[in-house]
């Protein structure tokens, strides 16, 4: 039974979500003391986190940013902050979805189901050998000739998607849909920033010009051989 951790200071909402999840095949748990939240999340080791970003004496976005340095657990932001800046910051810090209050709990359940299916599928594919380098999905690292670099969650997904479509042009829209699965979560600038950071990190492994920009079309990843997934 997948474990969902609710990090929400509104006791009434927290209990409503917990009861709903427990009635729909999940095991809900929660944090109600908001000190050292990041380490509490790691200690509980949930399958997915519902995280409010307006917590007493704590900043949920800061928690998310630090959590992403240690864990790829799926995170859905649930918040009353209905503005594009907070949404963009949260997505850049590694949130999988950004849901504003009040929300339809059935839609929230659908997002949870989708994220957990994707997370379970990725767990099955632990490593991808792209010949020129290896992607270790379990720890978000790229390895070449014994040297390794760590990627953020979005950087990992972008590289994985490009590997799956290697030597083929993929549009920016295809990448963004793969990342966020909904037009509501697409942000063109966010993709540009992630691509630039990914290129910079790959250059540290001497993987220069691996990702080429095709003006007006998208991106293409060029490397030899066929992927081996294991």
**Tens-digit pLDDT string for the chain (230 aa):** 789 999 999 999 999 999 999 999 899 999 988 888 999 999 888 999 999 999 988 899 999 999 988 888 899 999 999 999 999 999 999 999 999 999 999 999 999 998 888 766 445 456 787 878 888 887 888 998 888 899 988 888 899 889 888 888 999 988 888 876 544 455 678 888 889 999 999 999 999 889 999 988 999 998 754 444 43
- With b for 16 or more beta-carbon neighbours within 10 A and e for fewer, the 109-131 pattern comes to bebbeebbeebeeeeeeeebbbe
Continuous H helices in the chain: 11-22, 37-44, 60-67, 84-92, 105-124, 153-164, 172-180, 188-203
Q: Which residues pair with 79 in a beta bridge?
A: 100
CATH number of the structural domain spanning residue 134: 1.10.10.10
Tell whether 68 and 135 lie within a shared domain: no
Answer yes or no: are the C-beta atoms of 48 and 4 closer than 8 Å.
yes
Tell whether 177 and 221 lie within a shared domain: yes
**Last residue of a domain, which of 123, 144, 163?**
123
Cis amide leading into 190 (omega within 30):
no
pTM for the full model? 0.56
Tell whether 131 and 113 lie within a shared domain: no
Report d(CA 145, CA 118) in Å as an integer: 30
Tell whether 130 and 100 lie within a shared domain: no
Q: Residue 92 contacts by C-beta under 8 Å, 6 or more apart in sequence?
A: 154, 190, 193
Tell whether 29 and 132 lie within a shared domain: no
Q: What are phi and psi of 127, to 5 degrees?
A: -140, 145
Tell whether 119 and 17 lie within a shared domain: yes
Question: How many other C-beta atoms are found inside a 10 Å radius of the C-beta of residue 61?
Answer: 19
Give residue 113's region: left, alpha or beta (phi > 0; psi -120 to 50).
alpha
Tell whether 111 and 156 lie within a shared domain: no
**Last residue of a domain, which of 70, 103, 123?**
123
Q: Which residues pair with 220 in a beta bridge?
A: 212
Q: Return the closest-CA partner of residue 26 out of 74, 66, 71, 61.
A: 74
Quote the domain boundaries for residue 200: 126-229
Report d(CA 213, CA 205) in Å as an integer: 20
Tell whether 139 and 225 lie within a shared domain: yes
Handedness of CA 155, 158, 161, 165 (dihedral sign): negative
Tell whether 22 and 43 lie within a shared domain: yes
């Amino acid at each position: 039974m997948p474990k969902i951790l609710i990090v929400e200071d509104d006791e009434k909402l927290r209990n409503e979500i917990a009861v709903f999840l427990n009635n729909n095949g999940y095991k809900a748990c929660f944090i109600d003391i908001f000190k050292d939240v990041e380490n509490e999340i790691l200690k509980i080791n949930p399958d997915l986190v519902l995280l409010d970003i307006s917590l007493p004496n704590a900043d949920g976005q800061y928690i998310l940013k630090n959590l992403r340095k240690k864990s790829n657990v799926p995170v859905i932001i649930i918040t009353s902050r209905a503005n594009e800046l907070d949404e963009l910051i949260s997505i850049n810090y590694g949130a999988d979805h950004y849901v504003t209050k009040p929300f339809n709990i059935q839609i929230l359940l659908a997002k949870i189901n989708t994220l957990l299916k994707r997370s379970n599928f990725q767990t099955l594919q632990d490593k991808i050998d792209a010949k020129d380098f290896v992607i270790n999905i379990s720890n978000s690292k790229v390895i070449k000739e014994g040297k390794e670099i760590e990627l953020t969650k979005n950087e990992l997904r972008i590289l994985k998607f490009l590997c799956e479509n290697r030597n083929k042009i993929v549009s920016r829209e295809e990448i963004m849909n793969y990342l966020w699965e909904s037009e509501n979560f697409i942000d063109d600038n966010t993709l540009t920033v992630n691509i630039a950071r990914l290129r910079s990190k790959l250059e540290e492994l001497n993987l220069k010009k691996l990702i080429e920009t095709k003006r007006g079309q998208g991106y293409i990843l060029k490397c030899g051989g066929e992927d081996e997934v294991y």
